[in-house]
Amino acid sequence: MAVATKTSLILATISCLLLFSSMQIWKNWLALSNQQTLLGGLLGSFLFSFTLTAIGNFETLLFGKSYNLGLFPEVFLALVVSVSAAASVHRVAGTSCLLLSLLALLYINKYSQKVYTQVAPMPALIGKRKKNS
């Protein structure tokens, strides 16, 4: 279900704040075992997705619907924020966050290409045709 850009910005920002604060509150628990450390990296990759969504919605409101996110600075900023938050929990969580965020970025890009690209019509060929002799 799609929501308006302003609503999506608010929801993504609230999700970012809640996820970041939850990661910091549960920092000691997330660093206890290997599985919990990987969970910290997964939560960091979710933080990346929410941060990227919030940045994209903010720039859409600021610059208009035709504005596209770029690799630098938008994606890079969201990646630095999420990896830093996960690395503050545990270094392995930061590494797994980086890998999972890049994987999420790949799927976000594929979905965006599928939904938002427009197929250009084929130009009509005008000219003489040779007769088959």
The ranges assigned to domains in the chain are 16-109
**Higher per-residue pLDDT: 122 or 70:** 70
Which structure tokens are listed for 84?
């830093």
At residue 46, the pLDDT reads: 97
What whole-number distance in Å separates Cα of residue 119 and Cα of residue 98? 33
User: Residue 121: is the preceding peptide bond cis (ω within 30°)?
Assistant: no
pLDDT in tens, 85-116: 999 999 999 999 999 999 999 999 999 889 88
What whole-number distance in Å separates Cα of residue 41 and Cα of residue 3? 28
44: buried, middle or exposed (CB in 10 Å: 19+, 13-18, 0-12)? buried
